[in-house]
Amino acid sequence: MVYVVTGAAGFIGANLVKGLNAQGITDILAVDDLTQGNKFRNLVDCKITDYLDKDEFLARIKAGAYRRAVKAILHQGACSDTTASDGRYVMDTNYAYSCALLDFCAAEMIPLIYASSAATYGALTGFREQADCEGPLNVYGYSKLLFDQRVRRLPPGGPQVVGLRYFNVYGDREQHKGRMASVAYHFFNQYRAEGHVRLFEGSGGYGNGEQRRDFVSVEDVVKVNLHFLQNGGRSGIFNCGTGAAQSFNDMAVATVNGCRVAAGEPALTLVDLQKKGVIRYIPFPGDLKGKYQSYTQADLTALRAAGYAAPFLTVEQGVTRYCQQLLVKT
């Protein structure tokens, strides 16, 4: 029997495969769409049993090819572009695909742990896993919310189904994501190439670079996934963030100082970096107005109640480690 990881060549999916490998699990069926071929690099150092294209995998499960052959599905495959305008594609990839896997897991009575998103909350605050906090600003967020709603309607007595609402995830193996990569990744490359980083000017009532997000390391995201995989009695939808919002300025300072310290240079304060022109501000994009979350912070009440007690890395801790990983690869 195998563990299935969808989106396995992607950012979080590949880190999950590595996380399973670290626990001695190598019976893994990696599922993805390698139309973007450079994603293969994320799997080069991973141990898997087999690889299947997403469409081939769906065809096989619908044909009954994997009956009593799967231990669990860790479903990370999705269109994660929050600015995507092709709603038909987004709904097919994020909603219909997920529904097919849910039906399979229900029939087989096997766990499904899947990627939801903090985009389900939109501009609303509270960030609790309940309807009055949910109001997505784009079709990506809506596709995730619609599947969460289907999961909420599941009758009791079925298999474990866990939806994890990822907040702003950063970390290793995201290099293929282009403009959708984390701000830590973009700040790192900007600083290395140009000696400065660019942040948005103030918006939504926040000052320059002071918009705040719950930035969570992919290392912690993997730990949360594996917690639920190892504790099969827990089902539900749970936030997956640190529970502490930090500013984009914090992220920029941590990234720049991560590079500076590695080069033997002293760390600098935000004010010093602003004065030196290392941190600069650019106009807020017009096309993001009304579609941008200026503040997010995960409410971890449900996650903690589900037994996840481990601390989360702060931006300063996680980004420093991430910069070290990036420096090794460049």
Residue 79's nearest CA partner among 127, 115, 121 is: 115
- Angle formed by the axes of helices 139-152 and 97-108, to 10°? 20
The CB density around residue 68, as the number of other CB atoms within 10 Å, is 7
| Per annotation, catalytic residue among 97, 140, 185, 308 | 140
| Per annotation, catalytic residue among 47, 51, 71, 177 | 177
Is 140 in the active site? yes
The CB density around residue 130, as the number of other CB atoms within 10 Å, is 11
- Please report, for residues 211, 282, 283, the alpha-carbon distance to residue 202 in angstroms, rounded to integers and kept in the order given: 7, 9, 8
Residues paired with residue 295 on neighbouring β-strands, in sequence order: 212
Is 281 in the active site? no
Residue 326's nearest CA partner among 129, 143, 179, 188 is: 188
- Count how many residues are written for the chain: 330
- What is the Cα–Cα distance from 188 to 322, expressed in whole angstroms? 10
The residues annotated with a catalytic role in the active site are 140, 177
